[in-house]
Amino acid sequence: MDARRRLASLVLESGWSVSAAAHESGVSRQTAYEWVGRARSEGVAQMVERSRRPKRLAQSAPKSVVDQVLTIAQQYPSWGPHILYALLWPDGEAPVCERTVARILARAGRRVSNSQAKPEATIRFERSEANELWQADFKRVGPRRHRQDSMSILDDAFRYCLSLTQVPDQSLESAWSVVWEALGEFGCPLQFLTDNGSAFRNNATWRWSLFDLRLMLLGIQSCHGRPYHPQTQGKVERFHGTIEREIQFGQGDKLQPQLDAFRDRYNWLRPHQALGMRTPGSVYKPSDRKRPDKMPEPFFPEGATLRKTHEGVLNYKSGRYKLGRAFTNLPVGLLEDEHGTLNLVWGNFFLAPLSDFKV
C-alpha cells in the first residue's frame, strides 16, 4: 500500500505523468491509473487495501444434499464425483450438478487428483479420403506493420490447399465468397470444419449460424472445434505456421501474388511427410459432388411441417422456441422421427428436438 500511495503522490502532488510514475514504480499504466483514481476519490493518506471477497457468493448446497454425498462417499472411498453423482441420482433429476458434488468432496478432503481422473477423450477429425472434411480459418499475413486478412481452406486427408485468398475482412460475406469459389472449383466436401469465429459460428447461443445453414443447403455438414481449443484445427494451424516460416513479405509487395506462389509451391513442389513424402497435389482429387450454379432456396424432408420464425423465434402450438438469430425470418421444418419426437429440420439435416429450444 505504501508503494501505491507513493505512486499516487508522485502524480497528484509532484506533477509527474502517470506513465512516468508507472515506470518508476514498475507497474503497468492501467494499474497506475487505477491507484491514482482511488487516491483522487479517497485521498492519498486514506488509501487502504480493499477486500477481494466477491460481492455475490454462489448459493451453498443444502445440508441434506451435503450429508447425502458424504455418506455415500464414505461407503465408496475410491469413487470419484462422476460415479457418485450417477449413483445418487440415476434418473438425472439431481438437486445439484456434478461439479458441486466434486466441491463437496474437496471440502471434505476427498479431492481426486488429475492423475486419477479419467482423461477427457480427444475429438479427432482425421479423415482418410479426399473431400471427407475441409478445414478453414483466417490468417493475418504480410509485413509486420501492414498485415492483412487472408483465408485458407485445406483438405483434411491430403493437406491440399484449396484456397489461400486475401480478403478485406473476417466477415461472413468475405468468408463465404472464398468458400463459394472453392466449392465451384473442387466440388463439395462431406463436412466443413472451422473454429468459432464470428463469421462461422453464432457466438451468442453456440447454435447454428448463417454460415452453417448455407453449407447444409449444399449437403455439407458444418462442424466446429471446441471453444479455445485451436488444436482441433491442427492442420490449418500448422499450415499457417508454414506460411510464417516460408514467405518473406516485403514492404510494398502485393500480397495475393505471394500467396498464389506459396500455394502452388506447397501443393505441387513441397513433399509432405504425412503423405509418404508425396506432394498434396499428386494425391488429391476433386469431389464428384458438384456445386450448383446458384445457392439453393431453403428445402426440407418430405412430410415436414413448415413454419416461419420472427427474429429467430418460433411460436408453435402455444409454445415459444428460440432457435437463434441465423433463422431470422426464415422458414423452418418440423418433423417427427420414428420415436415420435418432434425435431427441427433444415435441408436434409435433423438439427435437434424442438423441445431443446423452448423458452
What pLDDT was estimated at residue 117? Answer: 42
What pLDDT was estimated at residue 290? Answer: 96
Torsion, Cα 172 217 233 280, to 10 degrees, reads -110
What pLDDT was estimated at residue 230? Answer: 63
Q: For residue 340, what are the CA distances in angstroms to 32, 319, 337, 356?
A: 63, 18, 5, 15
Q: For residue 113, what are the CA distances in angstroms to 78, 82, 103, 127, 203?
A: 12, 13, 13, 34, 33
Q: Which residues are within 8 A (CB) of 93 and not within 5 positions of it... i.e. 6 or more apart?
A: none
Q: What is the pLDDT of residues 311-348, one digit of tens each?
A: 888 999 888 998 888 888 889 999 998 888 999 999 99
The CATH class of the 133-283 domain is alpha beta
**Domain extent listing, the chain:** 2-42, 63-107, 133-283, 305-357
Q: Which residues are within 8 A (CB) of 193 and not within 5 positions of it... i.e. 6 or more apart?
A: 125, 133, 134, 135, 136, 156, 223, 224, 225, 232, 233
pTM above 0.75, yes or no: no
CA 342 to chain centre: 28
> What is the grid cell recorded at 247?
514467405
d(CA 187, CA 182): 7
Task: Kindly report each contact of residues 178-182 with a partner whose C-beta sits within 8 Å and lies 24 or more positions away, as own/partner.
Answer: 178/136, 178/151, 178/153, 179/136, 179/153, 180/291, 182/134, 182/153
d(CA 269, CA 279): 6
Residue 151 φ/ψ region, left for φ over 0, alpha for ψ in the -120 to 50 degree band, beta for the rest: beta
CA 174 to chain centre: 19
The whole-number mean pLDDT for each consecutive block of 10 residues of the chain, a chain of 359 residues, reads: 83 88 89 87 75 68 87 72 76 82 82 45 65 93 86 94 95 95 96 88 70 94 76 80 83 86 90 82 94 94 90 88 87 90 92 89
Q: Which residues are within 8 A (CB) of 61 and not within 5 positions of it... i.e. 6 or more apart?
A: 95, 96, 100, 104
Q: Which residues are within 8 A (CB) of 167 and not within 5 positions of it... i.e. 6 or more apart?
A: 138, 149, 150, 151, 174, 175, 177, 178
What pLDDT was estimated at residue 166? Answer: 95
Q: What is the pLDDT of residues 128-162, one digit of tens each?
A: 899 999 999 999 998 877 889 999 999 999 999 99
Q: Yes or no: say if 176 and 214 are a contact pair by the CB < 8 Å rule.
A: yes
d(CA 183, CA 181): 5
Residue whose cell numbers read 498434396:
280
> What is the grid cell recorded at 209?
449460424
